[in-house]
Amino acid sequence: MHDEITQRKDQDSTPPLRLGGLNYAWIVAATGSIAMFCGLGLGRFAFGMLLPSMSSSLGLNYTQSGILGFTNLIGYLVAVLLSPLIIPRFGTRITGTASLLLIAVSMLGMAFTTSFPLLCALYVLTGIGSGGVVLPMMSVMSHWFFPSHRGLALGLVMAGPGFGIILSGFVVPKLLPISGLLSWQTGWLIFAVINVIVAWLTFTLIRNHPDDVNQNPFGRVPTSPVKNKKKLERSNVRLLVHLGVIFAIYGATYMVYVTFIVTSMVGSYQLSEATAGGIWAWIGLLSVFSGMLFGWISDHIGRRLGLALAFFFLAIAYLLVGLTDWTLGLYLSIILFGLVVWSVPVIMAASAGDYFGPAAAASALAALTFAFSGGQALGPVAAGYLAEITGDFSISYMLSGIAAFIAIGLALLLRPQKSA
């Protein structure tokens, strides 16, 4: 144990920023949120806003659009597989910083090409970078926060992607071709520059463990002993699979929504791209609060009931656009989805620390995220294929709603974690 602490301090010898009596845990959480703004908000969810103009200029059909989104998930899966080896060795600070720079390089490449195969290859790198940001930023909260505040802290971290959605919603429709670059290429160029700035901020402020700054984790000390085993126990494999199936359902259904809802607004609902962008920005604004809201709820009523409640609202959001063509139904769907979109990742990350202990949280979260990524990879491809047959995405949204109700049942079958 002493050697581990010494190694961590060697890695993070740079003195951190001091802000009076504020516990450094909140600095780490806030910085993680900014990193997630780039890693997910710009690295993945801005794609939904850029997709209509990319499809128009490149002549992509629904299937090709789904394939392009799928390539990002391939990269994400690679990052998930490598994370149990990389994070323990290099820590959150180095891993997160390097991943943000990788995203910047891949976006810079996309800004200067119109080749579909090359775009796919570069978007794989973006996916690797996104996974390299998400996993360490989420798992490190198990070191910095006790279970009493872990959900709230993770909610703060997951507020970051919402700001990415807001930025893309307002900026992308206003982009213009410059210096021979198409409007969507200009978007990738701007996002690349932002990623470089945030990479510097991440390296400056993130620390891997409270010991690095001589502080304790924030929150109420658990009354029962905290598991601190480095490896997952065999007895927990069934629980891990159970959680993984739930997370895979979320990955498949929410990815269908975020990838194609803007396309649906422009195509099925006949909204202008600017109007669709404004609505997309509202999803981002509402999502800023979703992680913190459901993180706080799950801190108080438990992860199991928190998951069930989250999937109930997701199911309604999916069915509103799957079973109706009302514009009012679309708006209600947007509101519900925005208020609950980051709930499941936050509760899953908190569950990894609660059920498996802080030391094994990264490995557990990597396994869960692998299942999540598998769902994300399959969802858009299947939805794109169904849209080619039916002409729109209504059946895909309807199936997503049914899957969300199945997830409610699976969540209620989980055993309650021990009280903190």
Which residues neighbour 71 within 8 Å (Cβ) at sequence distance 6 or greater?
Answer: 120, 121, 123, 124, 127
* Exposure on the CB side of residue 237, measured as CA atoms within 13 A: 3
What average pLDDT does this structure show over 317-335?
A: 88
- pLDDT score of 175: 77
Tell me: pLDDT of 18 over 70.
Answer: no
Question: What's the pLDDT score for residue 202?
Answer: 93
pLDDT score of 333 more than 90: yes
Asked whether residue 159 carries a pLDDT value surpassing 80, the answer given is yes
pLDDT above 80 for 313: yes
Residue-level pLDDT at 10 = 44
Q: What pLDDT sits at residue 210?
A: 80
> Is 230 a residue whose pLDDT tops 90?
no
Handedness of CA 28, 32, 35, 37 (dihedral sign): negative
Confirm if 289 and 413 have CB atoms less than 8 A apart.
Answer: no
What is the value of pTM for the model shown? 0.74
Task: Give the count of beta carbons closer than 10 Å to the beta carbon of residue 5.
Answer: 12
What mean pLDDT comes out for the span 154-171?
A: 82
Q: What pLDDT is stored for residue 198 in this prediction?
A: 95
- Confidence grade of residue 419 (pLDDT, cut at 50, 70, 90): very low
Compute the distance between CA of residue 352 and CA of residue 243 in angstroms, rounded to an integer: 9
The pLDDT score that the predictor gives to residue 320 is 93
Report the C-alpha gap between 351 and 239 in whole angstroms: 11
**Tens-digit pLDDT profile for residues 248-293:** 999 999 889 988 888 888 877 878 777 887 887 788 788 888 888 8
The secondary structure of 305-324 as a DSSP string is HHHHHHHHHHHHHHHHHHS-
Strands (E), 91-227: none
Say which residue, 359 or 40, is predicted with more confidence.
Answer: 40
